[in-house]
Structure formats: C-alpha cells, structure tokens
C-alpha cells in the first residue's frame, strides 16, 4: 500500500482548501446576519437572516457535514436561529479563538478540515486557527487580508449560501430530501 503525502496547506488553492472542509464555523453577527440588531420596547432583540443562506446550510448538513454558529454571550437571536436551523451554537466572551479551539476539540476535528467565516477584527485570531479562513464582502480590510477567500456577497446577504455552494460544487451529491 502506497502512502501519498498530504499537500501542505500553504500550497493549496482556495478551491483545494474548501474541498477539505467538514466543519463550518461562522460568526452570527456580520456573517449569518448583516450585523444589525433591532431592540423592541420590551428589550427583545432580533436580527434578519436570508432564507437562501438557510437552504444552503441545510444542504451542507444533509451531506453529512457539521456546522457551528458562534455569537457573543447572551445574544438570543443567534441562539434561536441556531436551534431553528439545527446547528450547534456556542457563545463567546470576545475570545473567538478560544471558542474555536474548544469547537475543534468537541468535534474531534483538525484545523485543516475547518472553515471559519468572519467579518471583523475580532475574528482574526480565529481565522488564524482555521485551515480555511473566509471573509464576507465588505469585511474589515485586515480580515480580508487574512482570508484565504473573500466572498462576493455580504454577511446576511447570501455570503453563507455562496460559500456552501462553492464547497459542495465538486463533491459527490447525496440525497437531500426537502431541498
């Protein structure tokens, strides 16, 4: 049996990196949503998301892949969205890299199989851990510079669907009931 060495990550194209991804981790504010939060007179918060992103995520999960959404501690709209979309939810206290390290451990994954999607300066430490770091359109310039791939769609405006379509396009499709 011949063993073929793995190509080093720093020599891979964005497409090759995306082909390795099995665990997708995304920040809620600025990636799943556009980052705006509305608060009503009772103090309840809400955020808008795009249905196409949710359908893309359902296709990703139907292929046997995993997804985690992270959000700041106590941000209820993100928790509710994750529950509605059957996605693991994790809160952070500002240290997204620590949160991401715990997620990798919990999912028994490796950084090379991890894609992290972010949009702002506080995402940089987490992006440096991921085998594939992705920034949404309109992300902070430092975030875009750290990314292996910058999407053409903004957070809350189809970025998640764009990314998932790219990740799934060269994979063998599985049955995706309801999609």
Domain CATH for 69: 3.40.50.1000
Residue 156 forms part of a structural domain: yes
CA distances for 141 relative to 57, 77, 93, 99, 164, angstroms: 26, 27, 23, 23, 23
- Pairwise CA distance, residues 9 & 127, whole Å: 14
pTM listed for this prediction: 0.90
Residue 164 forms part of a structural domain: yes
Are 34 and 136 a contacting pair, CB within 8 Å? no
Find tokens 């750290």 and name the residue. Answer: 146
Residues of the chain whose pLDDT is less than 70? 172-179
Residue 109 forms part of a structural domain: yes
CA distances for 142 relative to 1, 43, 120, 138, angstroms: 45, 33, 8, 11
- Pairwise CA distance, residues 163 & 157, whole Å: 12
Residue 3 forms part of a structural domain: no
Question: Would you state the pLDDT for residue 178?
Answer: 47
> What is the distance in angstroms between the CA of the first residue and the CA of the last residue of the chain?
40
Question: Would you state the pLDDT for residue 53?
Answer: 97
Are 88 and 68 a contacting pair, CB within 8 Å? yes
Residue 95 forms part of a structural domain: yes
Question: Would you state the pLDDT for residue 176?
Answer: 45
The gap from C-alpha 9 to its chain's centroid, in whole angstroms, comes to 19
Question: Would you state the pLDDT for residue 10?
Answer: 83
- Pairwise CA distance, residues 138 & 158, whole Å: 13
Question: Would you state the pLDDT for residue 6?
Answer: 77
Residue 5 forms part of a structural domain: no
Strands 114-118 and 132-137: parallel
Mean of all residue pLDDT scores within the chain = 91
Are 60 and 168 a contacting pair, CB within 8 Å? yes
Residue 99 belongs to domain spanning: 22-37+45-168
Domain count, the chain: 1
pLDDT digits (tens, 9 = 90+) for 120-170: 999 999 999 999 999 999 999 999 999 999 999 999 999 999 999 999 997
Residue 11 forms part of a structural domain: no
Find tokens 């594939």 and name the residue. Answer: 132
Residue 9 forms part of a structural domain: no
Find tokens 């918060």 and name the residue. Answer: 45
């Amino acid at each position: 049996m011949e063993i073929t060495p793995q190509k080093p990550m720093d020599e891979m194209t964005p497409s090759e990196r995306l082909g390795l991804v099995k665990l997708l981790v995304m920040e809620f504010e600025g990636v799943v949503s556009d980052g705006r939060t509305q608060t009503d007179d009772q103090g309840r918060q809400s955020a808008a998301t795009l249905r196409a992103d949710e359908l893309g995520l359902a296709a990703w999960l139907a292929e046997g892949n995993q997804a985690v959404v992270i959000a700041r501690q106590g941000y209820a709209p993100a928790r509710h969205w994750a529950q509605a979309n059957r996605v693991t939810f994790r809160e952070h206290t500002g240290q997204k890299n620590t949160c991401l390290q715990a997620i990798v451990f919990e999912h028994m994954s490796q950084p090379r199989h991890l894609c992290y999607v972010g949009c702002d300066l506080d995402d940089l430490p987490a992006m440096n851990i991921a085998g594939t770091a992705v920034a949404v359109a309109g992300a902070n310039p430092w975030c875009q510079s750290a990314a292996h791939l910058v999407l053409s769609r903004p957070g809350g405006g189809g970025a998640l669907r764009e990314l998932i379509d790219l990740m799934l396009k060269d994979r063998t499709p599985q049955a995706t009931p309801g999609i």
